[in-house]
Structure 1
Amino acid sequence: MSIDYFEMIIMPMLEGAKITLLLFAIVILLSIPIGFVLTLAVRSRIKPLSWLVQGFIYVMRGTPLLLQLLFICFGLPLIPVIGEYLVLDRFVAACVGFVLNYSAYFAEIFRGGLLAIDNGQYEAAKVLGFNRWQTMTKIIIPQMIRVSLPTVSNESITLVKDTSLLYAVAVPELLHFAQTAVNRDATIVPYFVAGFIYLMITLALTWVLKRIERKYRFE
C-alpha cells in the first residue's frame, strides 16, 4: 500500500473521528450530572419517584444500547398520533440514546460510591453542626467522587468504543468511513487504521483520567 493510499483513507476517517469525539464530549458532559441526579432520586423519600427512576435505570441497563438507538431513531416516528413530532436528526437521536443509557450506568456507579461511605461520616457531620446540604457538598460528594472515579474512568473508555454503534443508525463516524473504504477497495487495511485511531483516542483519554485520579487520590 502506498503513502498516497493511506492519505486518501485517513482524511475521511479523521473527519469521522471528530464526530466520535463530539458524541463522547456531549455524552460525558450531560450523562454524568444527570446520573448523579438520578442517584439522588433513587434515594429520595418520595417512593413513587424512587420507584420510577429505579425502573428507568433497570430498563436502560437491561436492554442493549443498540436496541435503544434503533428505537429512538426509527421506532419513535412510528408511534401513532405523536410519531410525526418525534422525528429527530440521526446524530441528535443518537446523542439522546447514549445520554439516557450512560446516565443510568453512571447513576449506579454513583449509588455504589455513596454506599461505600461509612454512616459514621453522616453522624460526624451532624455532631459538627452541618446541615444536610453542607454534609453532602463538603463531606459526602467529595468522597463519593474519589471512590467512583476509577469506575467512571472505565465507563468513559467504554463509551469511546461504543460510539462505533453510530454506524448502525447511519451517522458517518470513524467506523463508517473505514467500512466504506473496505467495501470500495477490497482490503482490510482501513480496519487497522480505524483501530489505530481508536487506540490513540483511548490512550489519550486514559492518560487524562489517570492524572485526574492521581489528583483526587492525593488531595
Structure 2
Amino acid sequence: MKSATKRSLGAAAIILAAALVLSFALSAQAQALTIERWTAKSNQDGENAVLGATPTRVTWQGQSDEGESLSQVTIELPGGSTVEASNVKTTVLNGLDRLDVGSEVSVEDGTRVVVSFPEPTPAGALIMVECNRTLLPADGGSYGPAGSYVTAEGQTLAMPSSDQVIDIVSSTPAEQLSSMLSEQDWVKAWNSNKFLHLFFDPTIIVTSVPAVFSGWLLALGLVVVSFPLAIPLGLLWSFLRMAKSRIPRAIGATYINVVRGTPLFLQIYIAFFGLPLMGISMDLFMLGVIVLVLNSSAYLAEIFRAGIQSINTGQFEAARSLGMNGAQTMFYVIIPQTVRRVIPTMTSEFILMYKDTSLLAAVGVMEIMMYAKTITAATGNVTPYIVAAGFYLIVTIPMTKLINSMEARLARGKRKRKKSGPGDRSITSEASVVPDSDVAVARSMRMSETFAGPIDDDLVPGSGRISH
C-alpha cells in the first residue's frame, strides 16, 4: 500500500516538473521578442491622422530577448495594403552600435514583408523595419502588429501580441486619386518645375476642389440672398438722395458717401467685432448678408439715381397730363424704364458683390477663400488659391457675357429708334437712350470710390428732384 502511494506521489512529481519545464519553455519563447513600436506617420494635411490609400511610413520595432538571436522577421501589413520591397528599410542596433547585417527584403502579395538576415542578429539586438510609401487600406480601421519571426535555432514563432494599434482613417475618392497621381511619372516631371509645383500641383488640385466647392456654395448663397435685399434698399436710398426736402436728402447723401467712401473690409470688421461688444450676436452667415446688403445698397442707390435722372422730362409731363400723381408716375412709368437701362450696371454690381465675399474669410466665414487659405496653410502650396480663382470664373465669365449681350441689345434698340424717326410713343416706352457719358458714369460708379457727389443736373436730362 505504501509502495503504491509512493509511486503515485513520484508520478505526480514528475508530471508537475514536466509542466513547470514546459511552462518555462513557453514563457521563454513568448519573451524571445517584444514589440516596442508599431506606428504609421500622419499623412493628412493639417491633421494628426493616417489616411488610407495615401502614402505613409509604417514603422515596426522589436527587441529580441537577451538570449535570443533572430534570422528572419515577417510583418503582416493590414489587408489591402501595398508596399514595394525597394521602399523597405531595415536597421539593427546592438546597444548604441548600428550594425551592417546586409538584410534581404522581399514582399509577398503586397502585404507580407519578409526581412531575412544572412547571419542571425546578435542576442538582445533592436530591429527596426520602416516601410516607406506604404498604402494602407482605403476603408480604414484599427490594426495591430501581426506576423512571425524565426530564431537562430530555426524555430518559427508567432509575433507577440501588443496593445499598440494603427488607426486608419478612410480616404475620400479625391484623396485616393491624388495619391494615384503622385505616383505618375508625368506628375513627378510636372512638379519638378518649381513654378508649376507651387501654383498648379495636380495632386493638390484634386484634393482642393471638393473643399473649395463647399466654400463656393456658401459664397453663392451669400450673394443670392444679399443682392435681392440690396435692390429695394438701394432704391430707397436713391429716393432719399433725390428728395426735395433737405433733411431726407442729407440723410441719403451722408449714408451713400460714407459707405462708398470707406473700405468694405472696415465695414466687415465693425459688424463682426463691434456688434458683439454691444451685446448683439448672430450667425456669421447672417452678419455677412447684412454687411453685403448695406454696402451694395449704397452703390445701387447711385445706379438707380443715374437711371432715373436719365429719363426724359417729357415722361414726367405726359404722366401728369394723364392724371398720375408722383408715386404713380415713378412706379408705373419711370422705374420700369430705369430698370431696363441699369440692368447691365446692376449685373456688374452683382459680380463685384460675388467677389467681395472673399473679404469675409478674414472674419472666419467659410467661403471660397477661407477654404483655400486653410489648405494653403497646411500644404505650403499656392495651388488652392488657383482653384478658388477657377470657381470665381465659373460665375464671372458667364455674367460678363450676359452684360455684353444686354449692352448690344440696347445699342440695337437705339439704332432702330433713330431709323424709325419721330412718331407715336407710349409714355411707358423708352423715349430716349442713356447718353454715352451717362452710361460711362453709371458703369464706373461702383469702381470709382472718389465719385460721391450728385450728378450734374446740366449733364442729365430730366434731373428734376422728386418730392419726398
TM-score range, shorter-chain basis?
A: 0.7 to 0.9
Please tell me whether the aligned partners of residues 271 and 291 of structure 2 are also in contact (alpha carbons under 8 angstroms): yes
Larger mean CA deviation between 122-131 and 169-178 belongs to 122-131
2:223 to 24, 49, 56: 24
1:191-206 correspondence to structure 2 within 5 Å: 191-206=385-400
1:213/1:129 CA distance change after superposition, 3 Å = farther
Aligned partners of 1:216, 1:138: CA distance in 2, in Å? 21
2:261 to 48, 53, 62: 62
Alpha-carbon shift at residue 60 of structure 1 (Å) = 0.7
The alignment status of 1:12 with 2:206, answered yes or no, reads no
Match in the other structure for 1:71: 270
In structure 2, list runs of 5 or more residues that go unmatched: 1-177, 182-201, 414-428, 430-468
TM-score of the pair, normalised by structure 1: 0.88
Alpha-carbon shift at residue 4 of structure 1 (Å) = 5.9
The alignment status of 1:156 with 2:350, answered yes or no, reads yes
Q: Deviations over 1:38-59 (max 9, x none)?
A: 1112223343222112211111
1:172 to 334, 349, 366: 366
Q: How many residues align?
A: 214
Q: Which amino acid is the alignment partner of residue 147 of structure 1?
A: R
State the Cα RMSD in Å.
Answer: 2.2
Q: Which amino acid is the alignment partner of residue 103 of structure 1?
A: S
1:130/1:214 CA distance change after superposition, 3 Å = farther
Q: Which amino acid is the alignment partner of residue 369 of structure 2?
A: L
Larger mean CA deviation between 203-212 and 89-98 belongs to 203-212
Match in the other structure for 2:128: none
Please tell me whether the aligned partners of residues 149 and 213 of structure 1 are also in contact (alpha carbons under 8 angstroms): no
1:4-153 correspondence to structure 2 within 5 Å: 5-78=204-277, 83-84=278-279, 86-153=280-347
Aligned partners of 1:205, 1:158: CA distance in 2, in Å? 11
Please tell me whether the aligned partners of residues 259 and 298 of structure 2 are also in contact (alpha carbons under 8 angstroms): yes
Q: Deviations over 1:121-154 (max 9, x none)?
A: 1112222333323322232112211222221111
- Report the secondary structure of 2:365's partner residue: coil
Aligned partners of 2:205, 2:265: CA distance in 1, in Å? 31
Aligned partners of 1:213, 1:146: CA distance in 2, in Å? 11
Structure with bigger helix share is 1
Q: Deviations over 1:19-49 (max 9, x none)?
A: 1001111111100111011111222334322
In structure 1, list runs of 5 or more residues that go unmatched: none
Please tell me whether the aligned partners of residues 308 and 334 of structure 2 are also in contact (alpha carbons under 8 angstroms): yes
Aligned partners of 1:215, 1:41: CA distance in 2, in Å? 31
Aligned partners of 2:270, 2:332: CA distance in 1, in Å? 41
- Report the secondary structure of 1:187's partner residue: coil
Larger mean CA deviation between 54-63 and 198-207 belongs to 198-207
Aligned partners of 2:371, 2:357: CA distance in 1, in Å? 14
Q: Deviations over 1:150-184 (max 9, x none)?
A: 21111111111111001111101111111111111
1:41/1:117 CA distance change after superposition, 3 Å = same
Structure with bigger strand share is 2
Q: Which amino acid is the alignment partner of residue 284 of structure 2?
A: R
Q: Which amino acid is the alignment partner of residue 73 of structure 1?
A: F
RCO higher in 1 or 2 (8 Å CA, sep ≥ 6)?
A: 1
Aligned partners of 2:352, 2:370: CA distance in 1, in Å? 19
TM-score of the pair, normalised by structure 2: 0.43
Q: Which amino acid is the alignment partner of residue 220 of structure 2?
A: L
Q: Deviations over 1:99-123 (max 9, x none)?
A: 1010111001101111111212111
Larger mean CA deviation between 118-127 and 67-76 belongs to 118-127
- Report the secondary structure of 2:212's partner residue: helix
Aligned partners of 2:404, 2:289: CA distance in 1, in Å? 26
Aligned partners of 1:215, 1:28: CA distance in 2, in Å? 24
Aligned partners of 2:327, 2:255: CA distance in 1, in Å? 26
